[in-house]
Amino acid sequence: MPRSTGCRLCVTRRVKCDERTPGCARCETYGQPCPGYGEKFKFVTSKPYRTRRVQTKAGDKSTRTSSFTSPRLSTSPNTSESSSETHLEVQRTVSIPKPLTSGDLNVIQSLGVFVSDFTTSSNTPGNSNIALSSWFGFLPSIYGQNRALDAAIKSLAAHHFGQNLQNQQMMLYSRSAYGEALHSLRKALTSPSEYLSSNVFCAVVLLCMYELFANADDPASWMAHARGLGQLVKARGPERYRNELDISLLKSARGLIVMHSMFSGEDCFLANEEWHEMMRHQEQLLTNWPPGYHDCIEQFFAYFTHSPKIVHNLFDLKDRDFSEPETLQRLSEALNQVLDMQTNMATWYENWSQIASPPVEKPSATGDPLFPMILVYADLLDASIYCGYYAYMIIIHEALKTFGYPGPQEAMVIFFRDQICKSIEYTSTGILGPYRMGFAVRVAIETADPVTRAWLVSHLQEFSKTYAAAKPENYTPVI
């Protein structure tokens, strides 16, 4: 018998359960339905394969039977140890596979494991746990409310479990659920009562995440989803983001929207003041954050939404003849914008570094020969913001260098690039690590020398094992 008498989710997450009935307080705190105190559960994922018609003896009617192997994700307490384990059982069955429906309790229970996996890293989570679980933690409670959302949840969850367990049938099922999600989403987007809903918004974010993590055949396909995501966010308008789910989804999605604007050449609508104003007024939803922490992060993202314009000017002006009057006028305007942003970021950094402790250097745990000293942060969210700052400063100094502004621009580019490299070992931990570092590494590799570039490519190759968008061929320098 298992030694723990806690609820199944607390046992799986290896946390102490207060054993309150009918549901424990810890599950309530995490916003997840308590699965109760039974000994185990099974999450059955079976692609709805077409069953074969099997002929019986003469005179009998033909019957439909199903003869296929169905992957079962079994999470149960280990009877010989106090811990729990997740493993794969492959079983034969003769019943027709029942599709996973919105009322399937097994899905909800398995979502607890999925959410825990996506919001837990080897580092102390701190503020980053608040930021991530604020939207991942909603998935168990909103599952069953919308067909597109349900299929999107199943596609990403099945991909995650299938990849961890190296089970191809589960991976195929995730692809099938992804197709179902796209089909349902197309219908939802034509429905006046659905297309601006929180459920559809969440489904679009999940499908974009699926493309980033799962689409190894076309890892750049996330750009198409990011474009659709931006269109939906814009169509909803700032006034629709008034609850914790919508706000946390927008916070998680806005980086993708800005990156799409940067790489596509399109203006970023999030740079408009109405969006900045709306985001600044959501601090009451994050009561556990230190004073000023939310405001400082929002100020950074307000500045960050102007980065696509700087990059567009950089590419537009880099090969122009600066002796032409029209080009000189545009250069003057672009240079003033960059200098203003440099001043803004210097003021921001002074405030931020007083709220979030700057990183400290420590020896690399891997004994890395190129960067033997790495940067260690107080928290993963702090690390993400610092890395975003380093990337933005590279863009600013690269623009100043291109525009011919005097100063140690090249040296500053190298300094901030190396800060990103030294942050990878700490910041890329956990399932979301490569996603967290994606933009910063993208900028660093643009300015890397051959040795540093080879070093970054080796990390991208490792990232791409779980994060398809990190395939090195997607990081070809363009500056």
Taking only the tens place, the pLDDT of each residue in 41-56 is 333 333 333 333 434 4
| Residue 407 zone, left/alpha/beta (φ > 0; ψ -120 to 50; rest) | left
pLDDT at 55: 43
**Number of structural domains in the chain:** 2
**Which tens digit of pLDDT belongs to each residue from 465-478?**
989 989 888 876 65
CA–CA distance, 413 with 410 (Å, rounded to integer): 5
171 and 319 share one domain: no
Q: Please answer whether residues 267 and 313 qualify as being in contact, where contact means their C-beta atoms are separated by less than 8 angstroms.
A: no
Give domain status of residue 214, yes or no: no
CA 304 from centre of chain: 18
Query: 3-state DSSP helix/strand/coil percent for the chain, to nearest 5?
Result: 60, 10, 35
CA–CA distance, 152 with 150 (Å, rounded to integer): 5
**Which tens digit of pLDDT belongs to each residue from 162-209?**
888 888 888 998 999 999 999 999 999 999 999 999 999 999 999 999
- Res. 113 pLDDT band, cuts 50 70 90: confident
pLDDT at 477: 60
pLDDT at 31: 66
Q: Rounded to two decimals, what is the model's pTM?
A: 0.76
184 and 316 share one domain: no
181 and 315 share one domain: no
441's tokens = 């590494």
Give domain status of residue 378, yes or no: yes
Q: Which of 141, 166, 188 is the last residue of a domain?
A: 188
Question: What residues are paired with 43 via a beta bridge?
Answer: 73
pLDDT at 36: 74
165 and 313 share one domain: no
310 and 183 share one domain: no
171 and 314 share one domain: no
Give domain status of residue 93, yes or no: yes
Give domain status of residue 446, yes or no: yes
38 and 176 share one domain: yes
CA–CA distance, 111 with 133 (Å, rounded to integer): 12
**Which tens digit of pLDDT belongs to each residue from 57-111?**
444 433 333 332 333 333 333 333 333 333 333 332 322 233 333 334 456 567 7
pLDDT at 283: 60
CA–CA distance, 128 with 125 (Å, rounded to integer): 5
Task: Give the dihedral of Cα atoms 419, 421, 425, 428; nearest 10 deg.
Answer: 100
Q: Please answer whether residues 201 and 249 qualify as being in contact, where contact means their C-beta atoms are separated by less than 8 angstroms.
A: yes
pLDDT at 272: 95
CA–CA distance, 424 with 461 (Å, rounded to integer): 14
Give domain status of residue 215, yes or no: no
Task: Give the dihedral of Cα atoms 131, 137, 141, 143; nearest 10 deg.
Answer: 100
pLDDT at 242: 84
Question: What residues are paired with 89 via a beta bridge?
Answer: 72
Q: Which of 145, 163, 188 is the last residue of a domain?
A: 188
CA–CA distance, 312 with 324 (Å, rounded to integer): 19
**H or E stretch at 173:** helix 168-189
* Whether the predicted pLDDT of 124 surpasses 50: no
Burial class (CB in 10 A: 0-12, 13-18, 19+), 368: middle
In this structure, are strands 84-93 and 63-65 parallel, antiparallel, or unpaired?
unpaired
CA–CA distance, 213 with 219 (Å, rounded to integer): 8
Stretch among 31-40, 363-372, 440-449 having the lowest mean pLDDT: 31-40
Give domain status of residue 90, yes or no: yes
Give domain status of residue 479, yes or no: yes
* Whether the predicted pLDDT of 138 surpasses 80: yes
* Whether the predicted pLDDT of 359 surpasses 50: yes
- Res. 25 pLDDT band, cuts 50 70 90: confident
Better pLDDT: 97 or 310: 310
Q: Which of 143, 166, 188 is the last residue of a domain?
A: 188
pLDDT at 106: 55
CA–CA distance, 65 with 49 (Å, rounded to integer): 11
Task: Give the dihedral of Cα atoms 439, 359, 447, 334; nearest 10 deg.
Answer: 70
Domain carrying residue 90: 1-49+67-124+154-188
Q: Edge-to-edge strands of the sheet including 68-77?
A: 41-44, 68-77, 84-93
**Which tens digit of pLDDT belongs to each residue from 269-295?**
999 999 999 988 776 555 567 778 888
311 and 177 share one domain: no
CA–CA distance, 285 with 281 (Å, rounded to integer): 9
pLDDT at 454: 96
**Which tens digit of pLDDT belongs to each residue from 298-307?**
999 999 999 9
Mean pLDDT of the chain: 80
pLDDT at 38: 52
Q: Please answer whether residues 417 and 365 qualify as being in contact, where contact means their C-beta atoms are separated by less than 8 angstroms.
A: no
- Res. 112 pLDDT band, cuts 50 70 90: confident
- Sorted by sequence, the CB contacts under 8 Å of residue 184 that are 6+ apart come out as 146, 147, 148, 151
Give domain status of residue 255, yes or no: no
Q: Please answer whether residues 390 and 440 qualify as being in contact, where contact means their C-beta atoms are separated by less than 8 angstroms.
A: yes
pLDDT at 300: 96
